[in-house]
Amino acid sequence: MSPAASDNLKLRYSIIATTWLLVAWLALIATRSGDPGFGQISFILLGALITWVVLRAWPPPMVEPPPAEIEIETPLDAPEWGISERAYRRLTWTTMILATGCVAVFLEWLIQARFPGAFGMLLLGGVIGVLPLIIPVHETEATIRRLAERKRRKAWRRREQ
């Protein structure tokens, strides 16, 4: 582990220790002042939230992995056509929202005993929800390199922690 990462962990753990000492002190003060327990619970929940933020949400220090050469092998059955990655993300979000709306209408019509229309909406929602699985994504070499580099950096960061 590098010295910078060690100092960062020491800082995190000292913040957490200070937070819980403060929580214990505030709970003691609330107990002595006659609080029925709501104050103590709120202090403990606040301490848990601060601990979670420090441990999980606080970004780790940027550690650059050593340079590596990324080789790309294209499979022989890769489709020549397809939509871009950005368009695929838009398609995924749109179909998810539309399929959820279809399921909501299905439930509403099911309650109203409009069975043929309800099952038609369920079928339509299923077809819309499956669309992103059917349509291929045209992956460019730049996209593949970017995703591989992102995964490599993520694995390196986890190794450093």
Ordered per-residue pLDDT tens for the chain, 161 residues: 555 556 767 888 888 899 999 999 998 998 888 888 788 888 899 999 988 888 877 766 666 666 767 776 666 555 667 778 788 889 999 999 999 999 999 999 999 999 999 999 999 999 999 998 888 877 777 777 787 788 887 777 776 55
What is the identity of the amino acid at 152?
Answer: R
| Residue-level pLDDT at 85 | 78
| Residue-level pLDDT at 6 | 64
- CB burial class (10 A; 0-12, 13-18, 19+) of residue 133? exposed
| Residue-level pLDDT at 80 | 67
Cα→Cα distances 102→3, 131, 147, 156, Å? 55, 14, 33, 42
Sign for the CA dihedral angle at 105, 106, 112, 114 comes to positive
- CB burial class (10 A; 0-12, 13-18, 19+) of residue 137? middle
| Residue-level pLDDT at 118 | 93
Residue 126's nearest CA partner among 115, 118, 136, 138 is 118
List alpha helices for 53-134, DSSP H: 85-111, 115-134
The DSSP symbol for 136 reads: P
Residue 144's nearest CA partner among 94, 75, 76, 96 is 75
| Residue-level pLDDT at 79 | 61
| Residue-level pLDDT at 53 | 86
CB atoms within 10 A of CB 19: 18
| Residue-level pLDDT at 123 | 95
